[in-house]
Amino acid sequence: MPVKLNKLAQLGEFGLIKHIQSQCKNLSSDVLVGIGDDAAVIVPQKNKTLITSDMMIEGVHFDLSFTTFHQLGYKFIAVNISDIFAMGGTPEHFIVGLGIPPNFKADNIKDLYSGIMKLAKKHKISLIGGDTCTSKNDLILSGTLLGSAKQVVTRSGAKAGDSIYVTAPLGDSAMGFSLLEKRGKKINKFHPSSTASKLMKTHLMPEPAPLQNTSKVTSMIDISDGLLIDVSHICDKSRVGAVIYKESVPLSNELKVMAKKSGMDPLNIALKGGEDYALLFTGPPNMKTSAFKIGEIINKGRYIIDSRGNKTEFKPEGYEHFKKINV
């Protein structure tokens, strides 16, 4: 039987770090010093270095009544990986800052790191350090991910005439969140044949994937706040407008089925739901790609157009901190 780790008070900060260190052993050869010294040491690369940081706060980004620590760790590194992919980069080195409430068990943190390391191993990311503090009430996670790219893709290169593409169906995560909220309890095993299970898994354990060939891509962003907000970010940065083709926004069958059951509009969820961690990019209309073409870049204005030609203006609605959610 695996040894149960008790209250953090018995283990202390340094005892906990020792446990973390033993879980994060797989280091790539460019890491000269990992966890255990005052700073990590990595050998510089010839490519460009990318650095991104993403926080997750209990009660804001996650609810421990329906997220296991393993799932939380997995998602925590996934959202950071997604930002590196959104720049056309490869993730390489991860640093984790933790604020842990005093009543947590060391086993909780062990499970958190098992989730982090699962995805870290898949993408060959080395966990090279972090910081550990007590927090008063809530669990706080702060991740910093370093990566590299020969050629970076920013939000600012979209031009009128480009097409807009997304790499995966949208809205599954938001629908999954809504189902989890209603259910209000944790899921330890997902049933591959269950429609609801698939949506909930997409929310709890997103799977960011890179775009293989970015040579023709003019701009890119990952969809974290919702399609309409993230298209708007591209428009703002590139100083252009956009048209979204209503019927071309990819929706999974699972989303359509469960939205109907819940009396919700699947398209609305896909446009505003967020946390998809799919990539949205622009490029020439004839680009060879397996991504879904959902619209085009124009000079000015932001519209959704249906197949009959009805055009409505859209606002950047979705999730924004300090504002109410309006899905």
Strands 48-57 and 219-222 come out as unpaired
- Partner interacting with residue 90 (select from Mg ion, ligand ADP, none; CB below 5-8 Å by kind): none
The torsion of the CA quartet 225, 227, 231, 234, rounded to 10 degrees, works out to 40
Q: Is 38 in the site for Mg ion (CB under 5 A)?
A: yes
Query: Can you give the binding site for ligand ADP, defined by CB under 6 A?
Result: 17, 20, 35-38, 96, 98, 129-132
- Partner interacting with residue 78 (select from Mg ion, ligand ADP, none; CB below 5-8 Å by kind): none
Q: How many CA atoms lie within 13 A of 161 on its CB side?
A: 3
Of the pair 38, 313, the CB lying nearest ligand ADP is at 38
Helix, coil or strand: residue 250: coil
DSSP letter string over 199-218?
HHHHHHS------S--TT--
Q: Is 313 in the site for Mg ion (CB under 5 A)?
A: no
Indicate the residue whose CB is closest to Mg ion: 38
Q: Amino acid identity, residue 271? A: L
Phi and psi, residue 210, nearest 5°? -80, 160
Of the pair 17, 298, the CB lying nearest Mg ion is at 17
DSSP letter string over 51-104?
EEEEEEEBTTTB-TTS--HHHHHHHHHHHHHHHHHTTT-EEEEEEEEEEE-TT-
The neighbour count for residue 161, using CB atoms within 10 Å, is 14
Of the pair 100, 170, the CB lying nearest ligand ADP is at 100
In the region spanning residues 51 to 70, those forming contacts with Mg ion, defined by CB under 5 A, are none
Of the pair 73, 129, the CB lying nearest Mg ion is at 129
Smallest distance from ligand ADP to CB 11, Å: 13
- Partner interacting with residue 130 (select from Mg ion, ligand ADP, none; CB below 5-8 Å by kind): ligand ADP
Of the pair 12, 301, the CB lying nearest ligand ADP is at 12
Q: Is 14 in the site for Mg ion (CB under 5 A)?
A: no
Smallest distance from ligand ADP to CB 113, Å: 8
Smallest distance from ligand ADP to CB 36, Å: 5
Report CA torsion sign: 299, 305, 309, 312.
Answer: negative
Smallest distance from ligand ADP to CB 34, Å: 7
- Partner interacting with residue 98 (select from Mg ion, ligand ADP, none; CB below 5-8 Å by kind): ligand ADP
CA distance 189 to 203: 14
Interacting residues with Mg ion (CB under 5 A): 38
